[in-house]
Chain A
């Protein structure tokens, strides 16, 4: 929020219709708070660990007691756990999915908390809008499905991708090229960028609209009627706020689901 307020003081309400920082990074990069042995700790890094502890806390308190009849909170957590286990791991990968369940489950909860940090009051920053987390998780997913693909199918995994026998021979090289590009290069990049881009766009929209709204409404005594545009910005910001809740949950789900789909496509590799 410090960054946002900084941007606000620089905002030229007389000449602009919306407050935007000179550099996008102002909204995403925070100054170093303190340094541990050359390791610069920023607000983002603290929030990452906070997200981890929140995710652990939700799971711990939700599943703590082995109650036969769970509380409301416990039932909600159990519902989510059951959703990842049955809806993603078992439905997509099959009975083998149990093996990958810890990874999928940890991923889902970590991303869910990280995404919803955007709409959490006083935090208002999605840690998944920093490339580090999506890139790391996508890389792990990439390593897993590559490893599974080669372990299950030997080099047929690569060869059959380039030279798919199910396709008419004239088109084989083209389909093979597209498949190769899509599986080995595009999959991990798009997986990471999808989450990252959604959260960046959401955070940009939210901060710009809400702060612009507040600043313009506050400036009504100075600039008169033009300040009422702030009401519109703020209303739009509130709508985006609700939309971001949906997007945060959906993106966590899609990231986990695509990971499961990619792993499944390596297990049951057919061409």
Chain B
């Protein structure tokens, strides 16, 4: 800089305004003063006004962004919890449905089993009754047949013998006869 200053002194001594290229290279005092003032205007504006403003703006924006971020985070969390709820409800509904179907199936099977059991029982009853009746019928028929055979035999024997036997003798005869008959 001292070099330049020396040159400047040299130039002004020589009347640098009228000279050739030298006055181009050296600063003119008026322009130097004007340049310094102009720069100071910008400098003080930047220092006092622009930088505090931009710092504040950036800070506010940062806060707003971080606020929005946390908000978004919260809504995301909310949505997630909602989703979990829905999932749980869905699963519950599904298991409920399964349970109902299972119940219905069990009930149906039970019903089927009941019906079959009742039918079997009824059938068995009917069979028993029929068998019993058949047995009764057989006994009665046997007794009937025995009586009739006796009476017929006695009647036949009376006719043959020609005499009527008293009741006691008649019964004995019949029994003996029947025993023989059975032995046969």
Q: Does A106 lie within 8 Å of B47, measured CB to CB?
A: yes
Asked whether, in the complex, the Cβ of A102 is within 8 Å of the Cβ of B46, the reply is yes
One of A29, A49, A142 near B34 (C-beta < 8 A): A49
Chain A residues whose CB sits within 8 angstroms of the CB of B27 once the complex forms = 130-132, 135-136
B33, B34, B53: residue with the most chain A Cβ atoms closer than 10 Å: B34
Q: Which of under 10, 10 to 19, 20 to 34, or 35 or more describes the interface residues of B?
A: 35 or more
Are B54 and A136 interface neighbours, CB within 8 A? no
Q: How far is the CB of B6 from chain A (nearest CB, A)?
A: 13
Q: Does B170 contact A (CB under 8 A)?
A: no
Interface size class of chain A, counting residues whose CB lies under 8 Å from the partner chain: 35 or more
CB-based contact B20/A63 at 8 Å: no
Cα A142 to Cα B4 in complex, Å, equals 14
Of B37-45, B83-91, B100-108, B140-148, which binds chain A? B37-45
Q: A45-B30, A45-B31 are in contact. Are A200 and B61 (CB under 8 A)?
A: no
Q: Flag whether A81 is at the interface (Cβ < 8 A).
A: yes
B24 close to A135 (CB less than 8 A): no
**Does B38 lie within 8 Å of A110, measured CB to CB?**
yes
State in angstroms the CA–CA spacing of A56 and B19 once bound together: 36
Q: How far is the CA of A136 from the CA of B60 in the complex (A)?
A: 37
Instruction: Report which of A66, A78, A133, A188 forms a contact with B39, defined as CB distance below 8 A.
Output: A133
Q: How far is the CA of A101 from the CA of B37 in the complex (A)?
A: 19
CA distance A90 to B20 in the complex (A): 43
Interface residues of B in 164-182 (CB under 8 A from A): none
Cross-chain contact B42 with A109 (CB below 8 angstroms) = yes
A-chain residues with CB within 8 Å of residue B138 when the two chains form the complex: none
Q: Is the CB of B24 within 8 A of A28?
A: yes
Tell me which of A56, A67, A127 contacts B42 (CB under 8 A). A56
A219 proximal to B (CB < 8 A): no
Contact of A132 among B21, B34, B50 (CB under 8 A): B34
Contact present for B1 and A142 (CB under 8 Å) = yes
18 contacts between A and B (CB under 8 A): A25-B23, A40-B30, A42-B30, A42-B31, A49-B38, A53-B41, A67-B57, A68-B60, A78-B54, A102-B51, A105-B46, A106-B42, A131-B24, A131-B26, A132-B35, A136-B35, A139-B1, A188-B1
